[in-house]
């Protein structure tokens, strides 16, 4: 919007002319407009880093270290990102506010919202970690299968034929 023009005044959504899409959408605002909590910026990065560290620590607890397999770093990065996305999506789904409810908030409810978001965030982090730990048992078998496939390729490359 150019700086020399004043911003357009918002029409009263209930009495705006019926032809424009903005007016039509605003007439449905209480029903169709939802504000969603979404993590961005450093918070998103912090969450991804937390889960990458968590995956790395869980692997180390089970005796799996970086030197064990060349695909461990991409595994850690991918799973850390997926766990972070689970939490971010969960927060967005759990904390949706109708426009009218958001407009009605004032003073203390903002503090309650902050505590509610924190509780939900911690709950989703705990769920993501528990899910990862419950599925980690198959990782060794996957790494072993990848190693076997790689060994077969190396054998073929050396002999020029199938083993």
Please give the Cα distance from 156 to 148 (Å, whole number): 12
Helix (H, G, I), strand (E, B) or coil at 3: coil
Please give the Cα distance from 65 to 137 (Å, whole number): 15
Please give the Cα distance from 72 to 103 (Å, whole number): 48
Q: Specify the length of the chain in residues.
A: 163
- If we measure between CA atoms, which residue out of 83, 100, 96 comes closest to residue 38? 96
The pLDDT profile of the chain, 163 residues, written as one tens digit per residue, is 445 555 455 445 455 556 677 778 777 878 888 888 888 899 999 999 999 999 999 888 887 877 777 888 898 999 999 999 999 999 888 888 777 776 676 655 556 667 777 888 899 899 998 888 887 766 767 777 767 766 766 666 565 555 4
Sign of CA dihedral 19, 21, 26, 32: positive
Enter the pTM of the model: 0.65
CB atoms within 10 A of CB 140: 14
């Amino acid at each position: 919007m150019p700086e020399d023009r004043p911003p357009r005044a918002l029409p009263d959504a209930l009495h705006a002319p019926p032809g424009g899409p903005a007016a039509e959408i605003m007439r449905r605002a209480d029903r169709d407009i939802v504000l969603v909590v979404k993590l961005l910026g450093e918070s998103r990065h912090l969450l991804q880093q937390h889960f990458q560290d968590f995956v790395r620590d869980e692997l180390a607890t089970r005796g799996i270290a970086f030197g064990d397999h060349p695909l461990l770093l991409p595994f850690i990065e991918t799973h850390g990102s997926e766990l972070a996305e689970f939490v971010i999506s969960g927060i967005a789904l759990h904390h949706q506010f109708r426009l009218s409810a958001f407009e009605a908030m004032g003073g203390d409810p903002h503090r309650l919202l902050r505590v509610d978001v924190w509780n939900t965030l911690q709950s989703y982090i705990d769920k993501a970690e528990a899910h990862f730990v419950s599925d980690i048992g198959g990782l060794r078998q996957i790494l072993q299968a990848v190693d076997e496939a790689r060994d077969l390729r190396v054998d073929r490359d050396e002999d020029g034929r199938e083993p």
